[in-house]
Amino acid sequence: GAVVSQHPSRVICKSGTSVKIECRSLDFQATTMFWYRQFPKQSLMLMATSNEGSKATYEQGVEKDKFLINHASLTLSTLTVTSAHPEDSSFYICSASLGPYEKLFFGSGTQLSVL
């Protein structure tokens, strides 16, 4: 199946710093990628839809200035958590699909811990 690579797998940072997470589709082109967040013992919550060459679409309640998304190419989307705070500590997962009515393939996730 299609492979989505996410890097880094784990980040520990100080409060106030910015963290960039990369998501790559390795063997297919993804015009759309999705970013999810999961808190412990909770569901995966969609944060934003990343569209190649245009602005991301954010879900209600997600601060676009805090979670910067860039989808500069058909194989790469990045999520930057700006001025991270302890409450941003979470498991962030990206995903991509081959197209409408195709299943989503997920990256391996990034565990962010903000001290």
Partner 1 sequence: DQQVKQNSPSLSVQEGRISILNCDYTNSMFDYFLWYKKYPAEGPTFLISISSIKDKNEDGRFTVFLNKSAKHLSLHIVPSQPGDSAVYFCAASAYYNQGGKLIFGQGTELSVKP
Q: Decide the pairing of beta strands 10-13 and 110-114.
A: parallel
Judge contact between 47 and 64, C-beta under 8 A. no
Say how far apart CA 63 and CA 2 lie, in whole Å: 30
Residues within the interface to partner 1 (CB under 8 A): 1, 4, 6, 9, 32, 34, 36, 42-46, 49, 91, 93, 95, 97, 100-101, 103-109, 111
CA 62 to chain centre: 13
Say how far apart CA 100 and CA 115 lie, in whole Å: 39
- Nearer to partner 1 by Cβ, of 4 and 81: the residue is 4
Residue tagged 């930057």 (tokens): 80
Q: Decide the pairing of beta strands 32-38 and 104-106.
A: unpaired
CB of 85 to partner 1, least distance (A): 22
- Nearer to partner 1 by Cβ, of 84 and 105: the residue is 105
- Nearer to partner 1 by Cβ, of 49 and 82: the residue is 49
CB of 56 to partner 1, least distance (A): 12
- Nearer to partner 1 by Cβ, of 82 and 111: the residue is 111
